[in-house]
Every structure is written in C-alpha cells, then in structure tokens.
Amino acid sequence: MTAPSYPVIRLKPKANARAIRHGFPWVYDNELVVDRRTRKIAPGTIAVLEDGERNPLGLVAVNPESRITCRMIDRDLDAVIDRAWFEKRLSKALSLRERLFDAPFYRLVHAEADGLPGVVIDRFGDTAVVQPNAAWADVAFEALTEALVAVTGVGSVIKNASGRARQLEGLDNETSVVRGTAPEAPVPVPMNGATYMADLTGGQKTGLFFDQRPNHAFAARLSQGARVLDVFSHVGGFSLAALAGGAVSGLAVDGSEAALALAASGAEAMGVSDRFETRKGDAFDVLTALGEEGAKFDVVICDPPAFAPSKQALEAGLRAYERVARLAAPLVAEDGYLVLCSCSHAADLAKFRGACTRGIGRAGRQAQLIHTGFAGPDHPLMPQLAESGYLKSLFFRL
C-alpha cells in the first residue's frame, strides 16, 4: 500500500520540540511557522509535524482556527487515519474498561489519554454518547462512528456537540442521533449500589458524570447512619450513593428543576424516596439560608461546576471555592465530614486545597484532610498533559 501524502507543518526554531518528543500532545499557534500555505490548511486536516530542523515528529491534526493548532495523532508517519485505525484505538480503550467494570456504563474514551485527542465517549449500555471536541474528529466522524459500532456493538450513537471546547475549536453546537434511536426515557445507570437517571439528549454534558464514581463510593462509606447534604447535586450523584450506603436522609440542592426531577426518579427506583428530598435554588443562597436556619448535617458535599475553566478565571474561581467552603463548613456537625470538589483545569490541587482551607478557617472550624480523591480509572491521566487530571475531591473531617 502506498504511504499517504500529508501536508507538512513546522515548528519555529526556538519551539520546544523536546516536549513533543517526550509525549506532550499539543502545539500552540505561537509555536509554529505560519505562512500563507499553512493558513490555507482546512481545520481537521492531518499533517506531518516537523521540528525547526525539518526532522519529522509525527502526524498531527491541524486546526488553524484554534489556539491549540496541532494535536498529536500518531507517531507513525505512514499511519492512515481510517476506520481500521479507529478500531485499534477503541479496542484498546474498551479492553481497559471491560477489565475495570462488570456493566457497560463508563467513560469509554477520555480524549488524549486514550489516543483520541479531543474525543470523549461515554457508554450507557446499548447507547454511546460522543463528544467530538476537536475539528479532526468532526471531519473523521463517520469513520469513528463505524468503528465504535463495530468494536462495542452499541445500537445507538448520539453526537453531543454542546460545550465550551467545541466553541474554542470554531465548531457547531448541533447535537444529533447518528445511529439507531435516542432512548425515549432517561436511562437507569447502576453505580455504587445507587441508580441514576441519565438524560442522554437533554441533560448536562453526556447525561451523567462517571468521573466521580470512586469519590461517591468513599463518601458513601462516611454516610452510614448520617444526615447528608448534597449541593450542586445534578442528578443526585453523592446523595443517592450515600443513601445506598445507609444514610438516614439525603437532601439534594441544585439550580436545575430537571436535574432534581431525575434525582427524585433515581431515589424512587432505589426505593429510598422516603429518605430523600430536593431543594431548588442557587447554591450560595441555599447554603446561606440553611446556615440561618441552624441546619446541621453529618456529611456535606459540594460539587460545583468549573469556577475556574481558564487561567483568566482562576482568581475569581478560587474566591468562589473559598466562599463555598466558608458557607458549607458551619453546616457540618461536630466530627462530621465536608467534601469539596473542583473540576477546574486551571485550579491545580494546591491552589484548590488552599482556597478550601481558607474558607473552612474563615468559618471558624478546624479540619483534618482525610482523603484526596480524583477521577476514576475510566478517566485515565495522560502524564504529560496536566489538563487531563482535572478532578479533585477533598474529604475533610471537621
């Protein structure tokens, strides 16, 4: 077979080619020689990346409209990015998940860490939800979909085009069903003894957050016989796991009526509705109100959205995390537990921990940090890419 002919894109002489050779998967726009020919490369094109001395480094997906202009795809210069190529990558990803989980509910592909830059695939039984968050994945989406069906045997594939990442790539936000049919009702997802209801077409992200699975389990261990408050609860992630673990009560707080309705449906499916309540409202307002009411809980969990999604938002985000801790800490009974989470890429563990500790201190409480949790193993970390280790969960005893 004739080797494919790819266009060439080149690093500036002073760019850090060593980082690329050692596994860093991105090249930014200011690191490249950009001429008229380079600017004409269509978003999603596969090209050969060369260093400043014209030595080839590998195949990259190019998007001149994104600050991340190149994403490393394959070190093999003769690779053909077709259905067979996708099948190999997906088979490797599937083998890990099948070893880890006994039911097909997990993140199947976690972007760069699974060798598919910018691609996220969550599996819900017979349905897969794909987020192609990079231009090359949009261009190759048909081959990706065919490979996904062939490797996993799923009957339905949903393309989820929502989210900030696609906007940064200059892509559309049109979500569609590309294979089979979308589930007519929320899909029941078993995790940690709980049942979650996932809305795969109208919910947040792909419908459910699989990443917190091990942290839900650790919180459940602390919740036996406990009164539990779950703030920014989405579909009841922490509170339903706590009830499955023997909590005497669970209160889920969220700003979304739809998410709370799904949480209540999950509680009903589990047979714990008599121990479960919801409260709709702004999380900061509800935390303040609960404090004024003198409410106390044995376990309080706050799992907010990304307050610091970028470096520009870091300082404001850290202040928000500190405020959450300051408002939540007074609600924790003596010797109870406070769980504070962040999914912000820009706030590293040290900065996030510092903000939480300041908030707890400002609330007049003393704390022991007993556990630090991260995303589950179906969200593998690419060691060279700090951004792939975004999730942090801090478990304090107050």
CATH number, domain of 58, equals 2.30.130.10
pLDDT digits (tens, 9 = 90+) for 349-385: 999 999 999 999 999 999 999 999 999 999 999 999 8
Q: Encoding tokens for residue 229?
A: 């408050």
Domain count, the chain: 3
Average pLDDT over residues 385-398: 91
Please say which residue of 51, 74, 97 terminates a domain. Answer: 74
Cα(342)–Cα(362) distance, integer angstroms: 19
Domain assignment present for 291: yes
Contacts of 258 by beta carbon, 8 Å cutoff, 6+ apart: 199, 202, 203
pLDDT digits (tens, 9 = 90+) for 218-239: 999 999 999 999 999 999 999 9
Q: Does residue 121 sit in the same domain as residue 238? A: no
Domain assignment present for 289: yes
Q: Does residue 198 sit in the same domain as residue 171? A: no
332 phi, psi to nearest 5 deg: -90, 125
Q: How many CB atoms lie within 10 A of CB 292?
A: 8
Q: What is residue 2's predicted lDDT score, i.e. its pLDDT?
A: 52
Domain assignment present for 136: yes
Q: What is residue 310's predicted lDDT score, i.e. its pLDDT?
A: 86
**Selected residue with higher pLDDT from 203 and 333:** 333
Query: Is 341 a known active-site residue?
Result: no
Q: Encoding tokens for residue 155?
A: 């009957």
Average pLDDT over residues 156-178: 89
Measure CA of the first residue to CA of the last residue in the chain; give whole Å.
Answer: 65
Q: Does residue 153 sit in the same domain as residue 238? A: no
Average pLDDT over residues 138-167: 94
Cα(235)–Cα(35) distance, integer angstroms: 49
pLDDT bin (cut points 50, 70, 90) of residue 40 is: confident
Q: Does residue 270 sit in the same domain as residue 305? A: yes
Catalytic residue among 70, 341, 343, 356: 343
**What is the sign of the dihedral through the CA atoms of 122, 144, 171 and 182?**
negative
Q: Does residue 309 sit in the same domain as residue 346? A: yes
Residue 231: strand, helix, or coil: strand
Domain assignment present for 223: yes
Average pLDDT over residues 270-290: 98
**pLDDT score of 94 more than 80:** yes
Average pLDDT over residues 279-299: 98
**Selected residue with higher pLDDT from 206 and 201:** 201
Q: Does residue 327 sit in the same domain as residue 279? A: yes
Domain assignment present for 194: yes
Please say which residue of 49, 74, 99 terminates a domain. Answer: 74
Which of 29, 37, 24, 26 lies closest to 12, judged by CA? 29
Q: Does residue 126 sit in the same domain as residue 16? A: no
Q: Does residue 58 sit in the same domain as residue 97? A: no
Q: Does residue 175 sit in the same domain as residue 201? A: no
pLDDT bin (cut points 50, 70, 90) of residue 3 is: low
Are 298 and 278 in contact by the 8 Å Cβ rule? The answer is no
- Determine the structural domain holding residue 290 and report its residue range: 188-397
CATH code for the domain in which residue 275 is found: 3.40.50.150
Domain assignment present for 290: yes
Angle at 329 (CA atoms; ends 328, 333), nearest 5 degrees? 110
Q: What is residue 389's predicted lDDT score, i.e. its pLDDT?
A: 81
Angle at 225 (CA atoms; ends 219, 228), nearest 5 degrees? 50
Rounded to the nearest integer, the mean pLDDT of the chain is 95
Give alpha helix (H) positions in the chain.
17-21, 36-39, 83-100, 135-139, 141-152, 164-168, 213-222, 237-244, 257-270, 283-293, 314-328, 349-362
Q: Does residue 369 sit in the same domain as residue 226? A: yes
Please say which residue of 52, 74, 96 terminates a domain. Answer: 74
CATH code for the domain in which residue 111 is found: 3.30.750.80
Q: Encoding tokens for residue 244?
A: 């499955």
**pLDDT score of 1 more than 70:** no
Q: Does residue 347 sit in the same domain as residue 211? A: yes
Burial 216-254 (b: 16+ CB within 10 A, else e): bbbbbebbeebbbbbbbbbbbbbbbbbbbbebebbbbbb
Q: Does residue 263 sit in the same domain as residue 116? A: no
Are 275 and 243 in contact by the 8 Å Cβ rule? The answer is yes
Domain assignment present for 387: yes
Domain assignment present for 141: yes
E strand or H helix at 254: strand 249-254
Q: How far is CA 170 from the centre of its chain?
A: 20
Q: What is residue 378's predicted lDDT score, i.e. its pLDDT?
A: 97
**pLDDT score of 7 more than 90:** yes
